[in-house]
């Protein structure tokens, strides 16, 4: 008979007896072949060592570390271990006296994790990396329950990507769709209906000042390493400020570095060194006057690339947008009358999406039965978008709008459309093959003159603040980092990712609900499932996304318009009602959800 692979196995019980050296001798004899231990049996012996000495050697399942240990204890360097080499060598590693053993032991300690536990009563201090809207909301929620928080922020202010971004950046949604659930825009706060970047930054700063979050933030501080606490629970944060390196221990760690942080993704074509012009990423194109009088080529098909092209065209002499494929634009007002939020932020609009894997049998049957109706609905939506944006046939996206919204959805005004129509912006579907001194050559051989090339190609993910062995335990995939509820890694204890591994069309609300969800866990008001159960949920979500979402490097984090379902799951987990508008059945079905629908879950801000 088999067994349930998601069931938790009992903690291993030592089957060895005697002194430490006697235990090591038993392990050697168990795995030795002909009185010696070649490389292959050494791998099996290392697993026994990791089980027997978890706090000291718990990461001996990593090949790189295994190789270094073998090299150290193989005294005569013959590629096999005899009993004396094994016993004395491992004993030296457990109680190092030589510099080599001390160095290797310190390296191992950086990757040894304690067992995953579901009790967080020990958490009295939390390190939060990032002072954007996610990190600030986490700090606010945890401080409410008496947990001491320290925010580490590499820049000089709160706000994350809203502090400074590409030229003319701002919200692509109206302000009621970007609002802290516990801190609505004050009546005397002046901003546009679609706030500019500086207006959003002012709102975030006001939030931080109101709740005294500046007091717990360390600015201009870069986190350079995150180390487990030597097999014990908690983390040691190694950080650098004013060229001085320091470290501090915490009971829990929250990574809140955002979806669009660092490093920039710049697939620069060959021969870039020959180019006599300037090459920028969208995050460094902060002043459109840089493009004044220049011939500009913008690379990319997402929101930032389109915005960069519009900004450059306002100043430059010629602007060309080059991308491999186009994405469907979403108008701010459907048919120039109805705000788009009624279709995209309501349960009615959500029902037309690809069904979530967590739907019940009745809902699944209904989705299948109505599939032709849903298909016709989206084709009608595409016709509407084509008409409103006057999309030429050469720019029709390959993916249907119901799928494309999960990889390149962008809410636009008509600036880009009008500039295309007037000829101020040229569009080319293709890619840059190489640079020349005076421009670029596309893969089809077409040459474009350029003085300035801007890559609006997004950002890559980087997890190098974690040890390489821990990164393997995070199980990072080609399509991203899959987590339980997009927050918790099942195999790495005492760490949560808030805001940086999930993307919706209302990120500030999503991150607020994640912060509340985490508060309930750390306060003991709700409990996480066991690691095996979390893995089961993750694998279901992974399979669901991979059956229909485009194969993007960020697919693990994408919820986008499925935010309704994601918010439902978070709210249900904490024991609250997911139907926030009831008993108003009409409103529940057709009215858009905003942060104010969840306000009663959060304490009200004091005036």
Specify the pLDDT at position 64.
79
When pLDDT is cut at 50, 70 and 90, the band that residue 605 belongs to is low
Specify the pLDDT at position 7.
61
Residue 14, pLDDT above cutoff 80: no
Specify the pLDDT at position 206.
97
Q: Which of 134-143, 275-284, 327-336 is most confident?
A: 134-143
For residue range 453-475, list pLDDT tens digits in order.
999 988 888 899 999 889 999 99
Once rounded to an integer, what is the mean pLDDT over residues 187-210?
94
Specify the pLDDT at position 180.
97
What's the token pair of residue 157?
């202010």
For residue range 526-574, list pLDDT tens digits in order.
999 999 999 999 999 999 999 999 888 899 999 999 999 999 999 999 9
The lowest-confidence range among 260-269, 424-433, 487-496 is 260-269
pTM: 0.90
Are the C-beta atoms of 241 and 402 separated by less than 8 Å? Answer: no
When pLDDT is cut at 50, 70 and 90, the band that residue 3 belongs to is low
For residue range 227-237, list pLDDT tens digits in order.
998 778 999 99
The residue with greater pLDDT, 574 or 57, is: 574
For the chain, give the percent of residues with pLDDT over 70: 97
Q: Which helix (H) or strand (E) holds 254?
A: strand 252-255
Residue 15, pLDDT above cutoff 80: no
3-state DSSP assignment of residue 194: coil
| Mean per-residue pLDDT of the chain | 91
CA distance to 10, 288, 391, 437, per residue, from 249 (Å)? 30, 44, 55, 52
When pLDDT is cut at 50, 70 and 90, the band that residue 2 belongs to is low
Residue 61, pLDDT above cutoff 80: no
Cα separation, 534 vs 513, whole angstroms? 19
When pLDDT is cut at 50, 70 and 90, the band that residue 332 belongs to is very high
What's the token pair of residue 522?
């750390």
The residue with greater pLDDT, 409 or 595, is: 595
What's the token pair of residue 599?
């306000």
18: left (phi over 0), alpha (psi -120 to 50) or beta: left
Helix, strand, coil content of the chain in percent (nearest 5): 40, 20, 40
Residue 507, pLDDT above cutoff 80: yes
Which segments of the chain belong to CATH 3.50.50.60?
A: 125-262+461-578, 272-335+362-455
Closest Cα partner for 160 from 302, 255, 285?
A: 255
When pLDDT is cut at 50, 70 and 90, the band that residue 607 belongs to is very low
When pLDDT is cut at 50, 70 and 90, the band that residue 603 belongs to is confident
Specify the pLDDT at position 212.
96
When pLDDT is cut at 50, 70 and 90, the band that residue 56 belongs to is confident
When pLDDT is cut at 50, 70 and 90, the band that residue 38 belongs to is confident
- CATH homologous superfamily, domain 125-262+461-578: FAD/NAD(P)-binding domain (3.50.50.60)
Residue 506, pLDDT above cutoff 90: yes
Specify the pLDDT at position 5.
63
Residue 118, pLDDT above cutoff 60: yes
CA distance to 173, 176, 191, 536, 596, per residue, from 509 (Å)? 13, 11, 19, 27, 9
Contacts of 237 (CB under 8 A, 6+ apart): 127, 129, 152, 223, 225, 226, 247, 248, 249, 250, 253
Specify the pLDDT at position 394.
86
The domain 272-335+362-455 having CATH identifier 3.50.50.60: the answer here is yes
**CATH number at 20-109:** 1.10.238
Once rounded to an integer, what is the mean pLDDT over residues 178-197?
93
Are the C-beta atoms of 514 and 502 separated by less than 8 Å? Answer: yes
Specify the pLDDT at position 8.
60
Cα separation, 607 vs 204, whole angstroms? 17
239: β partners: 223, 246
Once rounded to an integer, what is the mean pLDDT over residues 331-335?
93
Once rounded to an integer, what is the mean pLDDT over residues 318-342?
92
Once rounded to an integer, what is the mean pLDDT over residues 271-297?
93
Once rounded to an integer, what is the mean pLDDT over residues 162-170?
85
Instruction: Return the number of other C-beta atoms located less than 10 Å from residue 601's C-beta.
Output: 17
Once rounded to an integer, what is the mean pLDDT over residues 485-497?
96
Contacts of 370 (CB under 8 A, 6+ apart): none
Give CA 258 to chain center in angstroms.
6
Once rounded to an integer, what is the mean pLDDT over residues 514-535?
96
DSSP letter for 245, please. Answer: E
Once rounded to an integer, what is the mean pLDDT over residues 65-75?
90
When pLDDT is cut at 50, 70 and 90, the band that residue 482 belongs to is very high
Which segments of the chain belong to CATH 1.10.238?
A: 20-109
Residue 606, pLDDT above cutoff 90: no
Cα separation, 403 vs 328, whole angstroms? 10
One-letter-per-residue 3-state SS of 127-143: EEECCCHHHHHHHHHHH
Once rounded to an integer, what is the mean pLDDT over residues 167-183?
91
Once rounded to an integer, what is the mean pLDDT over residues 210-214?
97
The residue with greater pLDDT, 393 or 565, is: 565
């Amino acid at each position: 008979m088999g067994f349930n692979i998601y069931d938790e196995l009992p903690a291993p019980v030592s089957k060895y007896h005697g002194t430490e050296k006697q235990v090591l001798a038993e392990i050697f004899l168990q795995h030795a072949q002909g009185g010696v231990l070649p490389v292959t049996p050494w791998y099996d012996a290392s697993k026994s060592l990791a089980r027997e000495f978890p706090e000291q050697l718990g990461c001996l399942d990593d090949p790189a570390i295994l190789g270094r240990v073998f090299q150290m204890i193989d005294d005569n360097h013959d590629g096999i271990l005899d009993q004396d080499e094994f016993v004395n060598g491992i004993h030296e590693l457990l109680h190092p006296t030589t510099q080599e053993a001390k160095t290797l032991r310190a390296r191992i300690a950086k990757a040894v994790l304690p067992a995953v536990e579901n009790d967080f009563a020990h958490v009295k201090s939390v390190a939060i990396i990032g002072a954007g809207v996610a990190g600030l909301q986490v700090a606010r929620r945890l401080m409410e329950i008496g947990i001491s928080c320290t925010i580490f922020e590499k820049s000089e202010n709160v706000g994350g990507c809203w502090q400074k971004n590409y030229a003319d950046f701002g919200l692509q949604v109206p302000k009621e769709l970007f609002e802290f659930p516990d801190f609505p825009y004050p009546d005397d706060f002046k901003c546009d209906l679609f706030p500019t970047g500086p207006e959003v930054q002012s709102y975030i700063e006001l939030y931080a000042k109101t709740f005294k979050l500046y007091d717990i933030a360390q600015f201009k501080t870069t986190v350079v390493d995150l180390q487990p606490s030597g097999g014990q629970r908690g983390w040691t944060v190694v950080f650098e400020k004013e060229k001085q390196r320091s470290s501090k221990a915490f009971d829990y760690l929250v990574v809140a570095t955002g979806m669009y942080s660092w490093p920039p993704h710049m697939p620069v074509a060959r021969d870039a060194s020959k180019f006599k012009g300037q090459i920028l990423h969208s995050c460094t194109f902060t002043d459109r006057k840089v493009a004044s009088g220049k011939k500009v080529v913008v690379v990319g098909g997402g929101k930032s690339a389109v915005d960069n092209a519009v900004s450059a065209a306002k100043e430059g002499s010629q602007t060309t947008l080059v991308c491999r494929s186009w994405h469907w634009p979403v108008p701010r007002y459907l048919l120039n009358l109805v705000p788009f939020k009624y279709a995209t932020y309501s349960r009615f609009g959500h029902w037309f999406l690809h069904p979530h894997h967590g739907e019940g049998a009745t809902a699944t049957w209904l989705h299948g039965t109505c599939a032709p109706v849903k298909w016709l609905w989206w084709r009608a939506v595409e016709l509407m978008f084509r008409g409103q944006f006057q999309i030429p046939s050469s720019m029709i996206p390959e993916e249907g709008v119901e799928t494309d919204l999960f990889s390149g959805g962008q809410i636009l005004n008509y600036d880009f459309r009008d500039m295309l129509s007037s000829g101020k912006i040229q569009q080319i579907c293709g890619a840059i093959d190489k640079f020349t001194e005076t421009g670029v050559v596309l893969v089809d051989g077409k040459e474009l003159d350029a003085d300035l090339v801007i890559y609006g190609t997004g950002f890559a993910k980087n997890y190098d603040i974690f040890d390489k062995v821990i990164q393997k335990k995070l199980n990072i995939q080609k399509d991203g980092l899959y987590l339980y509820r997009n927050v918790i890694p099942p195999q790495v204890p005492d760490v949560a990712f808030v805001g940086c591994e999930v993307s919706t069309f209302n990120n500030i609300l999503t991150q607020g609900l994640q912060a509340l969800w985490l508060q309930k866990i750390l306060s003991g008001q709700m409990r996480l499932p066991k690691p095996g159960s979390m893995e089961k949920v993750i694998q279901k979500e992974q399979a669901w996304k991979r059956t229909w979402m485009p194969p993007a490097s960020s697919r693990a984090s994408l919820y986008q318009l499925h935010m309704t379902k994601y918010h439902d799951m978070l709210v249900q987990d904490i024991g609250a009602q997911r139907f926030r508008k009831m008993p108003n059945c009409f409103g529940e079905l057709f009215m858009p959800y905003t942060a104010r629908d969840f306000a009663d879950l959060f304490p009200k801000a004091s005036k």
